[in-house]
Amino acid sequence: MDCLFCKIINREIPADIVYEDDEVLAFKDIDPQAPTHMLVIPKRHIATLNDIEERDLSLVGRLPQTAAKLAKEQGFADEGYRVVMNCNENGGQTVYHIHMHLMGGRRFTWPAG
């Protein structure tokens, strides 16, 4: 499958991996938008939020759980952080394997741009 994030999972292209277990992988974003910017992805390929099925629900729940765990471990959970999932063109999705952005270390504005 010609998917950038599946290639990272399969170690076909390098990434700065910060967490891995049987179901999810987290690695540093190559173009960070905050002092800390990581991506948390399921190891199962799911292209967009629109493609999540009933059987994926517990797996998808691991994304915010892992993001919060990483934020705690890296010491910015209490001060706060931003998680984002972009969907399709209007949402700004550029990689079609769902991922949760975890950004910390600065104050974020709302509404999102």
- On whether the CB atoms of residues 8 and 25 are closer than 8 A, the answer is yes
90 in contact with ligand AMP (CB under 6 A): no
Q: C-beta of 6: minimal distance to Zn ion in Å?
A: 3
Site size toward ligand AMP, by CB under 6 A: 12
* Cα 83 from Cα 38, distance rounded (Å): 10
Q: What angle do CA 76, 79, 80 make, to 5 degrees?
A: 80
SS3 assignment, position 80:
coil
99 is catalytic: yes
Of the candidate residues 3, 49, 77, 95, the single one contacting ligand AMP (CB under 6 A) = 95
Q: Pairing mode, if any, of strands 36-42 and 81-84?
A: unpaired
Of the candidate residues 50, 58, 90, 94, the single one contacting ligand AMP (CB under 6 A) = 94
Q: C-beta of 16: minimal distance to ligand AMP in Å?
A: 8
Task: Provide the 8-state DSSP code for 62.
Answer: H
Q: Catalog residues that contact ligand AMP under the rule CB under 6 A.
A: 4, 15, 27, 29-31, 39, 86, 92-95
